[in-house]
Structure 1
Amino acid sequence: MNPSTAKSRKSNRNLIFLPEELIVQVLSYLPVKSLTQLRCVTKAWNTIISDPKFIKLHLQRSTKDTNLTQILCVSADSFIQPYPLNTLLNTPFINDSTELNDSCSELSPDSDNSYQFIGSCNGLLCYRVFSFTDFQNTLFQLWNPATKAFSIYFGRHSNSHTNIYDYLRFSMFSFGYDNSTDTYKILYMGPNKVEIFSYGGNVWKLIQLFHVVPLDHWNIAPRKRRTFNQDMYLNDTINFLARDIAEDIVIISVNLGTETYREMLPPQDFVEVPLHLPTISVLEDSLCFCHHTQKTGFIIWKMKELGIEKSWTQFLKISYQDLDIRIKYRFFMTPLCIYESGIALILANRRHGLEVIIYNSSDNRIEKTRLSNLRWIFPYNYVESLVSPD
């Protein structure tokens, strides 16, 4: 027998062959960067990692792993800056954001167009794209920063506004996912109509008109009342704060599956405080309502059953003294996520930038990390994914 042949057979006997099911399980716990590199190992692994079922499994597991959670700061245009949660928790009192992470990314926009971030879901970021010379026609684009993939322009939307300022002020777009049809959807709310667009289609569908005005404070509210607010995606629904006909604050929840909406009241104990309007957030897969008390503190309510107003439960009550902060006109504070052992991660806005406050409710202990870049406007709880924007 040829010596080289004998050596080859001996080597083959030493190889360990793992069943595909086990390989899938192991790979599904790895971060996106590692999986991107492992695609090149074998054709079989590339097939596994590219499979839609594997991509969904990986996303489900990633969203439950706090080690993979990031705070994603998104600019008003097309820049993003990710901050791994573990890094923020273990690196207090940083004054320069570049010390935490220098992986700033850009969508590489067309210089002739303006890009405006409208939402994030399943690792995808959605932007509306328009030209200042042709703002009456808007397009959209999806971007996965983890895989560096982006979609072509889609979903042309026409409007009748006569100037760019009215268009930006009175038009609201939101982005979410409909599990029942495995479809990403964009919600549009204008002064006289509400529409939904399904990604992959070519028609904007009219749905029931909301008789409310959204609390989009960045574009609409007077400067002295401006605070941080945004819509929240949760379990096939897009949720946002609004004022009803009586000018009371309500929560609108749009079901992307049924394409209907419901109007929900905030907790009964909520009393509006001048200059500091409430916000909503998602913590531990529950919708939360967050508001200031009169010069004393900050309260977070959790809706244990989405849509059931009686299920509002006070989750956290934090005093300004415990947080070592002073209230200012341009101050806002909103919770981003809950970390293990009851640690709440809260992002606060100061006059000179964004600041992360890590608050331990068991002993009122806090740690702070300043993200000093003024460019960032939208902070998001974000998990990378393999989901394709195509």
Structure 2
Amino acid sequence: MHDDIILDILLRLPVKSLIRFKCVCKSWRTSIEDPNFIEHHYALSKSNVNRHKIFITGGVSDNMDNYFYSVDAPLQHDSVVSLLETPVPGINTLSRVSFISYSSNGIILIVFPYDLIILWNPATGESRKIPSPIPKKKKSERRQFPAVYGFGYVSSIDDYKIFRVGGKYNSHAHFEIELFSTKSNAWKLIGMFSPNNFCFEGGIVTIDGIVYMIEMADLSRNIDRSTILSFSLENEQFEYVLFPDQIQRFQDPILYVLGENLCLTRMHNLTSRDFEVWHMIKDGSMNNIWSKILTIPSMHCGRCLSPVCLMKIDGYIMLLKHKGDFEIYNSDGEQIEIVEVPGLQSSLFFNCIVPYVESLFSPKQRRI
């Protein structure tokens, strides 16, 4: 068979098959490990909804073990559920996962208590332990604040970066901003940061190398508008993204990623209990365009629904967690299905659920 035909077939295979086929012959291994092949394979997988996955981590109430699952998307009663091996041996005996990032090129950032930081490709099983940003001798000197993280890829310099807010704060509530580069394998201090009313619970997401966080309005401190604070992993600069007037009334907003767009959700406001999802389209200025893409009527929102995942599969899909089941809504805000996935433990509570696409990218690779 012609080499070009073989290569085209390999590009369309799932990651697990490609890992097996690396053992067939030396030329196949060379092709599959080629950086151009890896990038092309990932691009094809992103465009094929049948290759999309949902990464779930959680635990059960009677122990501190962490469970990691990969579930076929879209979520259905017969979705294939794979229980993944832990990224580092013995890691499931530690405390609950503190943070899970959205994936970047199929690689996920997982943070455990005490700054145990792991980059992990759940498809290949490869992982990389990141050195702690806090030197051991200084840990006792710092007043600890629960850190928050961002993670993304900067294509212009071919580097993965980890953004961290936390570490220590002083009497004026200034927090340290630190940045890790996989190329240099080192942290550096960006500076001290004074978040006027930073909403750590509102999520922190990264899109195209830009980290987004919420800064809430606080009239008692003369902050009359909520904004989104962004940080570029490339130029290492902060900028503000304004909320439109229609979103200023939001209470408890949460950031998500839907496709390549930044999304904002809320469960309640002062006049309505409808659940809304808005997404942002960049126009190259501070006045980015926001539009509402989903409304779930209030009749569904009073039953302890919790948004866990946004996906774009045949239209916008919202997954809401209600007790042990998932409720799936379409772009019209209509409930289309209640899904109980047999492969997931019924007693499992979820720390994080994020969509991702499997890839061959290695978290260990440092191309300098």
Sort the TM-score into its range (normalised by shorter chain). Answer: 0.7 to 0.9
Aligned to 1:101: 81
Say whether the 8 Å CA contact 2:165–2:177 is kept in structure 1. yes
Aligned to 2:198: 214
Say whether the 8 Å CA contact 2:213–2:229 is kept in structure 1. yes
Aligned to 2:261: 286
Aligned counterpart for 2:14 among listed residues 17, 31, 48: 31
- Residue 287 of structure 1 aligns to which amino acid in structure 2? L
CA pair 111-118 structure 1, distance change in 2 beyond 3 A: closer
Q: Residue by residue, what CA displacement relative to the aligned partner does 1:145-185 show, whole Å, maximum 9, x if unpaired? A: 21112224535434866599x63x43222222111111111
Map 1:366-385 onto structure 2 (within 5 A).
366-370=336-340, 372-385=346-359
Note if 1:327 corresponds to 2:302: yes
SS at structure 2 position matched to 1:62: helix
Map 1:176-215 onto structure 2 (within 5 A).
176-190=152-166, 191=169, 192-212=175-195, 213-215=197-199
Distance (Å, rounded) in 1 between the aligned partners of 2:92 and 2:141: 21
Distance (Å, rounded) in 2 between the aligned partners of 1:312 and 1:335: 22
Distance (Å, rounded) in 1 between the aligned partners of 2:227 and 2:183: 32
Distance (Å, rounded) in 2 between the aligned partners of 1:369 and 1:308: 41
Map 1:88-237 onto structure 2 (within 5 A).
88-89=75-76, 91=77, 101-107=81-87, 108-110=89-91, 114=95, 116-119=98-101, 120-129=103-112, 135=114, 138-158=115-135, 167=144, 169-190=145-166, 191=169, 192-212=175-195, 213-217=197-201, 229-237=202-210
Distance (Å, rounded) in 2 between the aligned partners of 1:263 and 1:52: 35
Note if 1:388 corresponds to 2:362: yes
Q: TM-score, normalised by structure 1?
A: 0.76
Q: Percent identity?
A: 26
- Residue 378 of structure 1 aligns to which amino acid in structure 2? C
Note if 1:46 corresponds to 2:29: yes
CA pair 246-367 structure 1, distance change in 2 beyond 3 A: farther
Say whether the 8 Å CA contact 1:188–1:196 is kept in structure 2. yes
Aligned counterpart for 1:67 among listed residues 50, 66, 76: 50
Aligned counterpart for 1:347 among listed residues 316, 319, 331: 319
Q: Residue by residue, what CA displacement relative to the aligned partner does 1:278-311 show, whole Å, maximum 9, x if unpaired? A: 1122223111222234444122222111664433
Distance (Å, rounded) in 1 between the aligned partners of 2:249 and 2:236: 30
CA pair 360-260 structure 1, distance change in 2 beyond 3 A: closer
Distance (Å, rounded) in 1 between the aligned partners of 2:338 and 2:92: 37
SS at structure 1 position matched to 2:24: coil
CA pair 339-158 structure 1, distance change in 2 beyond 3 A: same
Aligned counterpart for 1:240 among listed residues 213, 238, 243: 213
Aligned to 1:359: 330
Aligned to 2:288: 311
- Residue 265 of structure 2 aligns to which amino acid in structure 1? C
Gaps of 5+ in 1: 1-16, 218-228
RMSD over aligned Cα atoms? 3.0
Distance (Å, rounded) in 2 between the aligned partners of 1:153 and 1:193: 18
Say whether the 8 Å CA contact 1:358–1:368 is kept in structure 2. no
CA pair 254-109 structure 1, distance change in 2 beyond 3 A: farther
Aligned counterpart for 1:336 among listed residues 305, 310, 326: 310
SS at structure 1 position matched to 2:360: coil
Distance (Å, rounded) in 2 between the aligned partners of 1:161 and 1:272: 40
Say whether the 8 Å CA contact 1:288–1:300 is kept in structure 2. yes
Distance (Å, rounded) in 1 between the aligned partners of 2:126 and 2:8: 25
SS at structure 1 position matched to 2:330: strand
CA pair 141-313 structure 1, distance change in 2 beyond 3 A: closer
CA pair 161-327 structure 1, distance change in 2 beyond 3 A: farther
Distance (Å, rounded) in 2 between the aligned partners of 1:83 and 1:32: 15
Which stretch has the larger CA shift, 74-83 or 262-271? 74-83
CA pair 111-360 structure 1, distance change in 2 beyond 3 A: closer
- 1:331 Cα deviation (Å)? 4.1
Aligned to 1:83: 71
- 1:85 Cα deviation (Å)? 0.9
- Residue 205 of structure 1 aligns to which amino acid in structure 2? K
- Residue 109 of structure 1 aligns to which amino acid in structure 2? G
CA pair 113-357 structure 1, distance change in 2 beyond 3 A: closer
CA pair 78-57 structure 1, distance change in 2 beyond 3 A: farther
Say whether the 8 Å CA contact 1:155–1:202 is kept in structure 2. no
Which stretch has the larger CA shift, 202-211 or 40-49? 202-211
Q: Residue by residue, what CA displacement relative to the aligned partner does 1:111-134 show, whole Å, maximum 9, x if unpaired? A: 78555444232212223355xxxx
CA pair 110-380 structure 1, distance change in 2 beyond 3 A: closer
- Residue 346 of structure 1 aligns to which amino acid in structure 2? M
Distance (Å, rounded) in 1 between the aligned partners of 2:246 and 2:187: 39
Say whether the 8 Å CA contact 2:310–2:317 is kept in structure 1. yes
Distance (Å, rounded) in 2 between the aligned partners of 1:208 and 1:44: 48
Q: TM-score, normalised by structure 2?
A: 0.80
Say whether the 8 Å CA contact 2:149–2:204 is kept in structure 1. no
Gaps of 5+ in 2: 60-64, 170-174
- 1:269 Cα deviation (Å)? 0.7
Count the aligned residue pairs: 337
CA pair 67-314 structure 1, distance change in 2 beyond 3 A: same
